[in-house]
Structure 1
Amino acid sequence: MGVGIDRTGLIQAAQTGDPAAISGLLAVCQADARRYAWRHCQASDVDDAVQESLLVIARKVRALKAAAAFSSWLFTVIRRECLRLQRAMFRHEPLDDELAERQLASRSDGALRIDLTHALESLPAHYLEVVLLRDFEELTIAEIAERLGEPPGAVKSRPHRARALVREYLLGGDATIAGP
């Protein structure tokens, strides 16, 4: 991502905490972030890596020392997020579906409801919102994307990832699936 005069000014304005400049900077660098994530992430993690990386950029751009360092910083943040997602994917062995069913069936309905509530509450907000819209309001991916004002591709993998996190919580008893 080449830093031109306009982009440099946008970065400098974002460094002051200007919300419009931060928003503009994220919009300008999103395509570069996505291209870079495609090279460094599993295909299913690209949207999550880009979204999480842009959140980091938005929160920490004020700490950036020099506008000229923005591109390399952006790519470093994305690479770290891709690595974090890759490590998370391999953290647990997948459970046999039959074993999972037996574990869930051994719980009372009340206990299962409480565990499900806790699992949903532990989801990151962007996963919880999509799983509620998809599974409870029964919206399509296109309808969810329209409601959230995001491209369908950015929303498509979230219901699957959210369900996987809920399943992991229910089967593993992990109280902190949301991560850092």
Structure 2
Amino acid sequence: MADSVADRDQLILVAQTGDPAAIARLLALCQTDARRYAHKHCHASDVDDAVQESLLVVSRKVQSLRAAAAFSSWLFAVIQRECRKLSRSLFRHEPLTDDIAEAQMLDRTDGALRIDLAHALESLPAHYLQVVLLRDFEELTIAEIAQRLSEPPGAVKSRLHRARELVREYLLGADAPAKS
């Protein structure tokens, strides 16, 4: 393990010199951690954008990093900032009325809607997916889910609500017209 940390620190030092190959290797090396961290701090639909923007910031500003040992915490701070930025931009848009949302859903074929729903469910973090599957597919009550997960019913209700909102956001985003 010490060798891998030393190798990573050496790669960071070389990337700080502006070496394009070292920067590319560093970005490839930290992409998995960046994605995992973004999944914990971003809306499911924002993970890819947050990771991409964060890695772009890293590639541009790695030269200004003072110590290689600080790289991981710096990377996580950059990702967290990008997640907050994307979250704020999410709320700048006018929310869709239920009528408009329903009309968008009705415009899709059943097959396309099934595929989009499957993709939406796959995009959910595991703890959200779990409650959706237990409630909507296994048809358990909130009390049964709470008992199975050893969590308070209020926490289960909150998680289920958030999971459904993420699915709705994904489904409506998949059909949203492009803005020019």
Q: TM-score range by the shorter chain?
A: 0.5 to 0.7
Aligned residue type for 1:80? R
Identity of aligned residues (%): 63
The equivalent of 2:49 in structure 1 is: 48
The equivalent of 2:13 in structure 1 is: 12
The equivalent of 1:139 in structure 2 is: none
Superposition pairs for residues 30-45 of structure 1, below 5 Å?
30-45=31-46
The equivalent of 2:91 in structure 1 is: 90
Q: How far apart are the structure 1 equivalents of 2:174 and 2:67?
A: 36
| Structure 1: runs of 5+ lacking an equivalent | 100-152, 170-180
Q: How far apart are the structure 2 equivalents of 1:75 and 1:40?
A: 10
Residues 127-148 of structure 1 show CA distances to partners (whole Å, capped at 9, x for unaligned) of: xxxxxxxxxxxxxxxxxxxxxx
Aligned residue type for 2:56? L
Equivalenced residues, count: 108
Using structure 2 for the length normalisation, give the TM-score: 0.54
User: What SS does the aligned partner of 2:29 have?
Assistant: helix
Using structure 1 for the length normalisation, give the TM-score: 0.54
Q: How far apart are the structure 2 equivalents of 1:86 and 1:33?
A: 17
The structure with the largest alpha-carbon Rg is: 2
Q: How far apart are the structure 2 equivalents of 1:78 and 1:53?
A: 5
- Residue 164 (structure 1) shift: 5.4
Aligned residue type for 1:41? C
Greater alpha carbon shift after TM alignment, 17-26 vs 89-98? 89-98
User: What SS does the aligned partner of 2:18 have?
Assistant: coil
Superposition pairs for residues 161-180 of structure 1, below 5 Å?
166=179
The equivalent of 2:76 in structure 1 is: 75
User: What SS does the aligned partner of 2:94 have?
Assistant: coil
Q: How far apart are the structure 2 equivalents of 1:17 and 1:161?
A: 38
What do you get for the CA RMSD once the two structures are aligned?
Answer: 2.6
User: What SS does the aligned partner of 2:12 have?
Assistant: helix
Instruction: Select the structure that is richer in helix.
Output: 2
- Residue 94 (structure 1) shift: 2.5
